[in-house]
Amino acid sequence: MSTTAGGGSRAGVGGLRWWGWVALFIMWLVTIQVRPMLDPDEGRYAEIPREMVATGNWITPRLDGLKYFEKPALQYWATAAIYSVVGLSNWSSRLWTVVLGFACLPMIYAWVARLYDRPAAVAAVVLLSVSPYFGIIGHLDLLDAAFTFWMCATVFAFTLAQCAPEGSGKERGWMLLSWALAALAILSKGIVVYVLAGGSLILYSVLERDLRPWRRLHSAWGLTLHLALAVPWFVLVSLRNPDFAPYFFIHEHFQRFLTTEAHRVEPWWYFLALLAVGAFPWLVPLGRASVGAWRDPGLNSTFKPLKFLFLFSALTLVFFSISDSKLATYILPIFPPLAVFTGLAISRRPGFLARTAAAAAGLALFVAGGLLVYSHHRNGMIPAQAADWAIAAAVAVVLALVASFRRETAQTRSGPASQPMSGALPSLAVALLFVFTWQALLCEYTVIPPSRSAYALVQAVAPDVHRGTVLYSVGQYRQTIPPYLGRKLILVGYAGELHFGEMRQPDLEQATPAQFVQQWEASRDAIAFFAPGVWDRYRRQGLPGHVIARDSFTIAVSRRS
């Protein structure tokens, strides 16, 4: 392994060629349009940008016309810009976050190749590709994949600056880039960036008794650049909405972290379990690699980048574990750093590729079969599409196993030193096939009842929706309905996460149950989406209307005469 900063990109053989990256990118996007948006999150993050485009207001995020201040606006802007060019669809709603999720792969490759060598760089890419946690979350329209890219890019740029010659132009350039990337991370998910990045630097300085990184921050120019990028939107949205700052900074950060208000209470070991599943194919070497990263001798005795990555990962894991509000996606940013120092530790070990592929294959086959068993047990049937996706996943993992074992056989015959693991096509093949496998399992999950998207429901309802049709949502807010219909809904008897907006705008496109009944009975062109139990109650009370579509969670009723 090369230990000369900046020289690693020339060390070793067998790096990924441009066509390999193109193939990996195409495979990463292969199901982006096939899968319908999932409730609730994918519907929400598709709808907010749609309303930005429809209203022309790109400063104040709104969901169903109501103020929605839970997250910053960068992803909304990017998706709204995409809609402005190509319109709203499954793929365009996901494009920003899915592409940035993919970008984590070339990012870790470039970082490892620059500081160490190419075999380790490809090993890191393989490890991240076979992680089911990263592979699934990276394909959903959530905030986490994009935030992971900006957060990890901030950390990687910082470490490159610290590994550069002191006072050099490279140090200044990487450090300024890190400041800019941190601003984009804040615009993606908020000020938690300061806790994770700043806390990691404090921990490193204390444990290493080294204050040199603080003197190399280029704070004057860096902080100016950072604030110039991060602050303007916060100022503008606060000027237009005086209630933004208290809600966003106090409620969404401190109250959510310190209280159970968000109703996301999980045990303290919750994220440890997710880490174990997410890194399952390389969990054993991860333990050994973590010890190695902790003992990192550093590069040229100036900075210890692997130890910094380890501290960042550990702090992120502990920080979210002690929070009273836990969501499964929160620890995604630790996976690229974990893949980096694990790949460095085991890239040249004989049998690494085969063992990793075998572990990932076993997990994938277990999940593929488990989903079919679940469907048969719960629904009394297995959808044909679910079986097709399960078979596709099984075929992919078998091919991955063949590729990995053929590589290990060739390596055994010729010697590992002459053919580094990352120098052959099988490494790329394993990454490609598992990138597809996790998407296939996600597609299998999506098509198994109960319905996890309102796509089919909306397709059935759409012919009855006209420009003058009044749309209600009664007792629920199914978040994939508005983006698929391209319309907001009048809420009746529902608050949920829209409670803040409803309190600030009590008369905006809402109706009490009594008002709804009055308006509905007077209407001649209206459709209401009911929670099943709510519709049963209204139906027994004699509410007119006939059912035009239904699925597991929603009943669509028409008032057209």
pLDDT digits (tens, 9 = 90+) for 304-349: 999 999 999 999 999 999 988 899 999 999 999 999 999 999 988 8
CB-based burial, 150-168: b 16+ in 10 Å, e otherwise: bbbbbbbbbbbbbbbeeee
Per-residue confidence at 49, pLDDT binned at 50, 70, 90? very high
Average pLDDT over residues 418-429: 64
Beta strands in 266-356 (DSSP E): none
Average pLDDT, the chain: 92
pLDDT in tens, 184-240: 999 999 999 999 999 999 999 999 999 999 999 999 999 999 999 999 999 999 999
Q: Long-range pairs for 535-542 at CB < 8 Å and ≥24 separation? A: 535/474, 538/474
Per-residue confidence at 424, pLDDT binned at 50, 70, 90? low
Would you state the structure tokens that stand for residue 268, as one six-digit string?
């303290």
Q: Is 60 exceeded by the pLDDT of residue 14?
A: no
Per-residue confidence at 53, pLDDT binned at 50, 70, 90? very high
pLDDT in tens, 136-184: 999 999 999 999 999 999 999 999 999 999 999 999 999 999 999 999 9
Percent above pLDDT 70 for the chain: 92
Pick from 525, 519, 504: nearest CA to 474: 519
DSSP code, position 351: T
Looking at residue 520, its amino acid is: W
Q: Kind of pairing, strands 546-550 and 490-492?
A: unpaired
Q: Residue 329: phi, psi to the nearest 5?
A: -85, -5
DSSP state string for 103-128 = HHHHHHHHHHHHHS-HHHHHHHHHHH
Would you state the structure tokens that stand for residue 55, as one six-digit string?
């209203």
Would you state the structure tokens that stand for residue 350, as one six-digit string?
């004989």
Q: Is 50 exceeded by the pLDDT of residue 418?
A: no
* pLDDT computed for residue 413 by the predictor: 59
Per-residue confidence at 426, pLDDT binned at 50, 70, 90? confident
Q: Is 70 exceeded by the pLDDT of residue 459?
A: yes
* pLDDT computed for residue 501 by the predictor: 74
* pLDDT computed for residue 5 by the predictor: 43
Which residues fall within 8 angstroms of residue 404, CB to CB, at 6 or more apart? 353, 354, 356, 357, 358, 426, 430
Q: Is 90 exceeded by the pLDDT of residue 19?
A: yes
Would you state the structure tokens that stand for residue 222, as one six-digit string?
């860096």
pLDDT in tens, 354-406: 999 999 999 999 999 999 999 999 999 999 999 999 999 999 999 999 999 87
Per-residue confidence at 261, pLDDT binned at 50, 70, 90? low
Q: What angle do CA 201, 203, 207 make, to 5 degrees?
A: 120
Lowest mean pLDDT among 13-17, 35-39, 292-296: 13-17
Is residue 509 classed as helix, strand or coil in its secondary structure? Answer: coil
Across-strand partners of 547? 557
Q: Is 80 exceeded by the pLDDT of residue 429?
A: yes
* pLDDT computed for residue 137 by the predictor: 98
Q: Is 90 exceeded by the pLDDT of residue 11?
A: no
pLDDT in tens, 104-132: 999 999 999 999 999 999 999 999 999 99
pLDDT in tens, 471-512: 999 999 999 999 999 999 999 988 778 877 777 776 566 888
* pLDDT computed for residue 506 by the predictor: 61
Looking at residue 536, its amino acid is: D
The pTM is what?
0.94
Q: Is 50 exceeded by the pLDDT of residue 449?
A: yes
